[in-house]
Structure 1
Amino acid sequence: MNFAFTDDQLLFRDAVAEFFANECPPEKVRWSWNDEVGRDASIWAALAEMGVIGLTVPEAFGGMGMNEIDLLPILTEAGRYAYPAPLVETVAVVAPLLAESAPAAIAEKWLPGIADGSVIATVQLDGQPFVNDMHIANLLIAQRGDQLFAIPAEHVRSTPQISVDGARRLFSVEWDEADAELIVSGDAALRAADRAFDRGAAATAAQLIGLSEQMIAMTVAYVSDRKQFGVPIGSFQAVKHHLADAELKVSFARPAVWAAAYGLANSSADVDREVSMAKCFASDAAEVVARKALQTHGAIGYTTEHDLHFWLKRSWALASSWGDAAWHRRRVAHLLLDA
């Protein structure tokens, strides 16, 4: 059995990586911190044109009908370039949730717009205090107990919240059930919410892999140029050990994320455990890589003048999103010991 990505998947990933390299350089990430909206609509539209935004939308609604195995390499590239937009929420979570669980009228209302990029969706499941990118969203999918609702953005009252990552816009939200459409209720809603959570956690883990790989690359470049005692500091054994520790963590986390993608795409019986292992490993890896990168750069790496701080703060924010490493360890222990 071949567990490698196909040539088509790798070509798609490489095309997206090239696009982000051109359209989302560090200057664009810096702009997203300072701009009032912080989102470039032309990038989202171009990604929709490429098929990225509609990747998980069924073909019947104008999408590509692909799955998590196709999506996670692309999300890794989004993490590598610290792209500030709700790809996880719209593409990884909301689109498949609507496709699988929504009545036909709701699916027909929203999925074509997601596929063509005209609809941006975000999500709030039970236990999530804030909503990402509500200020640009057209649709909020929200859970209340054993019910899932679709709420048009004009019926959502939102309040901005502070985030460690200035490019990641968070909001507390309020809405009335009278303005919402019921997607699903009862046990079916709880199952749909659990699956949505798993998709969000796995997608975030993929972004953390990309963030970690980029922080290692930035640090290797820095220690190759920075000199002490007449030689690059990267030649010092202690610095080599820091980078080796960082790469080791990412190397162990990466296949766990791939396994989670495979489990989600194929409805594995152990998908909860696979996703939690992926998110735990990816969060741990990002924490170690961020610490090693900052220690190797020194204080300059934390200043707002240096690009590294964008990746540091994004990794800290995402490591605690969709369950932090400690939460997912407890979940794995529960799944194993109570099985």
Structure 2
Amino acid sequence: MRFDLDQDQRDFAASIDAALGAADVPGAVRAWSQGDAEPGRRVWNQLTELGVTALAVPEEFDGIGADPVDVVLAIEALGRWCVPGPVVESIAVAPILLAGSPDGGSQLAGLAAGELIATVALPPHTPRAVDADHADLVLLAENGTASIAQAGTRHASVDPSRGIFDVAATGASWDSETGRAYEMGALSTAAQLVGAGQAMLNIAVDYAKQRTQFGRVIGGYQAIKHKLADVHIALELARPLVYGAAISVSQDSPEASRDVSAAKVAASDAALLAAHSALQTHGAIGFTSECDLSLWLLRVQALRPAWGDPTAHRRRVLEAI
């Protein structure tokens, strides 16, 4: 099967890049880490204007009802720009869980309009909710049911812009497609990792073209060229797995779980390679808080175990074959 994005999808991704490129997203991430969500909310408002927050919301609730491929396309772009907040949970997962709620219509409309940001805990692989302190809606889902929840104890994260919280149900539960929600959470996290990996590769390439050592730019050395070329290859191999898995999910393929896990493993490995290579290209300065690269380095470390770590997803692939 040959898969390629059409022109409308490319234009949509370009519009997200243009909007986020004009915003101070690194500044919003740093503010989010310090507990100030206002700059991040402004970034989310821009996403709402582009229709990103409405993608997975059904049309009857003022959403777009987009295909999983379009959702993944958008979230990859958000990963490229390191957008703060529960991106995967609010945009890709919450609409699935709320679809079965008897009172979910207004909440779905709120998500589409950007009035609500949601976060989700879905044990056992996602036992805690990300950014529950900044979210307007917290959901707890497990074994085919979901319920409204509230945040409890906050736990430390390797990425200070991603607080993780225990949650407890506060009301009645309803039947929900928790299996599909989990697949979309894992798949969207894979897309976010691919986007982050691409961003780090771009940052490293730009730095290698400018940094000089022994009288020449470091990008001229074969060791640097080969290292960054390996990252490019890894990302180019991971990206079609992500989009192929999105097609499997959209078609309710019996192999969807296998495809999602394969995509999550490939994206996790590619993003980790990108992080290592970008840091080695920059040297120690790359991990300082003043360097924007550090934001992506920490984000990747937090996203790799999110929605199932690579070991769990490798196990699912092995079991499937």
With the shorter chain as reference, the TM-score category is over 0.9
Paired AA for residue 152 in structure 2: S
Aligned partner of 1:238 in structure 2 is: 223
Bigger drift between 28-37 and 165-174 goes to 28-37
Q: How does 1:320-331 map to 2 (within 5 A)?
A: 320-331=305-316
CA contact (8 A) 2:133 2:151 kept: no
Per-residue CA deviations over 1:233-289 (Å, capped at 9, x if unaligned) read 111111111111111111110110110111111211210000000000000101111
Q: CA separation of 1:48/1:317 partners in 2, compared to 1, >3 Å: closer, same or farther?
A: same
Aligned partner of 1:195 in structure 2 is: 180
Q: CA separation of 1:325/1:147 partners in 2, compared to 1, >3 Å: closer, same or farther?
A: closer
Aligned partner of 2:63 in structure 1 is: 63
Note if 1:166 corresponds to 2:151.
Answer: no
Measure the CA separation in 2 of the matches of 1:295 and 1:193. Answer: 40
Aligned partner of 2:113 in structure 1 is: 116
Corresponding residue SS for 1:322 = coil
TM, length-normalised to structure 1: 0.89
* 1:41 Cα deviation after fit: 2.0
Corresponding residue SS for 2:205 = helix
Corresponding residue SS for 2:54 = coil
Note if 1:210 corresponds to 2:207.
Answer: no
CA contact (8 A) 2:31 2:37 kept: no
Measure the CA separation in 2 of the matches of 1:243 and 1:39. Answer: 33
Query: 5+ residue gaps in structure 1?
Result: none
Once superposed, what is the RMSD of the aligned Cα atoms?
A: 1.7
**Identity between Structure 1 and Structure 2 (%):** 38
CA contact (8 A) 1:147 1:182 kept: no
Q: CA separation of 1:112/1:328 partners in 2, compared to 1, >3 Å: closer, same or farther?
A: same
Q: How does 1:1-339 map to 2 (within 5 A)?
A: 3-37=3-37, 40-99=40-99, 102-103=100-101, 105-127=102-124, 128-144=126-142, 146-151=143-148, 156-175=150-169, 179-184=170-175, 189=176, 192-336=177-321
Measure the CA separation in 1 of the matches of 2:198 and 2:2. Answer: 25
* 1:147 Cα deviation after fit: 4.7
Paired AA for residue 181 in structure 1: A
* 1:294 Cα deviation after fit: 1.0
Corresponding residue SS for 1:142 = strand
Paired AA for residue 67 in structure 1: D
Measure the CA separation in 2 of the matches of 1:40 and 1:322. Answer: 23
Measure the CA separation in 2 of the matches of 1:147 and 1:245. Answer: 41
Q: CA separation of 1:95/1:149 partners in 2, compared to 1, >3 Å: closer, same or farther?
A: same
* 1:45 Cα deviation after fit: 2.5
Measure the CA separation in 1 of the matches of 2:98 and 2:36. Answer: 30
CA contact (8 A) 1:106 1:183 kept: no
Query: 5+ residue gaps in structure 2?
Result: none
* 1:61 Cα deviation after fit: 0.6
Paired AA for residue 255 in structure 1: P
* 1:81 Cα deviation after fit: 0.6
* 1:157 Cα deviation after fit: 4.1
Measure the CA separation in 2 of the matches of 1:49 and 1:327. Answer: 37
Q: Which has the larger radius of gyration?
A: 1
